Amino acid sequence: MADRDHRQQSADLGWLAGAWLIAVALISVSRAPAAETHHRVKETSDVYVLPPPGQVVAMSLGHRAAVADYLWATVLVEQGLHTLAKRRFENMPYLIDTINELDPTFREPYLLVDALTTFQTNGVLEKDVRRAREIMERGVRNLPDDAEMLVAAGSFIGLMAPSSYLTDPVEQEQWKLDGTAMLARAAELGGDSKYVGWQALSGVSLLRKSGKRREAVQFLQNALAGTDDKELRERIKSMLDKMSEAEDAFEKTEQRRAFVSFRKRQDRFDEIWRKAYPLASKTGALVMGPPYDAAYCAGGTHRLDPRCALDWVGWAARVEAAQDAD
């Protein structure tokens, strides 16, 4: 019995060894042609397999932010793989559209879409630039008070795209104006991110090159009113002074008088801000309002005096009236 079992095991091992040898032979015969085909055939285009963004939102089952994060990681990984393979990442804007639908306030896709669009192999197409603008404008609509978002969109739409990718002069000029408006809004918002104000100043050069000198002055005035960065404020004041001295005729215009009034008002505000609210930011000082001298203003005799203003709008009107009287 034992001998028969031993012979059966030997036969089974023989069959197994034979099957293994046959498999090795088949692999050896088929591997070379398969390898040759693999090296010869190259992937040239992408297939987008996700359903429309609205359906992806429903498929997320409420985990919208998590799915958005996963797709964003996919975008970054695929961008690197496509660059390595020297292929265009054709699905990138479609994926970002879906990410925006899943999480409209997710900032990174909006902020980086211009870099992802321009960092493509085989050149950048105008349609890609237009799609990037569409996505960035969507970000501005969803995050209207995000100064960094406005600077990124304004720089791309007003500076990079017209000078590098667009060919129609009329369209280039319109993009510059649209981008400048975003930069102007970013300058008005200001905030604690000091570099935002510095970047927003690029809008001044766009306005000056377009011959919009009055708008450039207004741009700088709004930027000055929106920042509490001392170095940036001095830079803006210097730019305003140089612009006002650029032509003698400007000294006699109504714009010049308005400019001088604005500068005096700003200097007076800075003085009050530093004296009355030394530990507060400019935004904090604007929220708290001008210091009110209750004893001086009692009885209403000095109601037109700036010290009796209840808010900064009233204070500015009183200061301007006093300057006109002088």
Q: Is residue 181 part of a domain?
A: no
pLDDT by position in tens, the chain (length 326): 556 566 667 666 777 777 777 777 777 777 666 656 545 545 556 777 889 999 999 999 989 999 999 999 999 998 888 888 888 888 899 999 999 999 999 999 999 999 888 887 777 888 999 999 999 999 999 999 888 888 889 889 988 888 888 889 899 889 988 888 888 888 777 655 556 666 677 777 777 776 667 767 777 777 776 676 777 777 777 777 777 665 544 555 655 666 667 767 777 877 787 788 887 777 777 778 888 888 888 877 777 788 888 887 888 787 777 766 55
The answer to whether 205 and 183 have CB atoms below 8 angstroms apart is: no
Q: If DSSP codes are grouped into helix, strand and coil, which group holds residue 193?
A: coil
Q: Is residue 116 part of a domain?
A: yes
Q: Is residue 118 part of a domain?
A: yes
Q: Is residue 2 part of a domain?
A: no
CA distance 124 to 309: 56
The answer to whether 220 and 240 have CB atoms below 8 angstroms apart is: yes
Q: What is the pLDDT of residue 41?
A: 46
Q: Is residue 102 part of a domain?
A: yes
Q: Is residue 78 part of a domain?
A: yes
Max CA pair span of the chain: 127
Q: Is residue 85 part of a domain?
A: yes
Cβ-proximal residues to 131 (8 Å cutoff; 6+ apart), any chain: 93, 117
HEC per residue, 107-156: HHHHHHHHHHHHCCCCCCCHHHHHHHHHHHHHHHHHCCCCHHHHHHHHHH
CA distances from 107 to 111, 141, 205, 276, 302 (A): 6, 12, 27, 37, 50
Q: Which domain holds residue 78?
A: 51-122
Count of domains for the chain = 1
Q: Is residue 98 part of a domain?
A: yes
Name the one residue in this structure whose structure tokens are 């297939």. Answer: 47
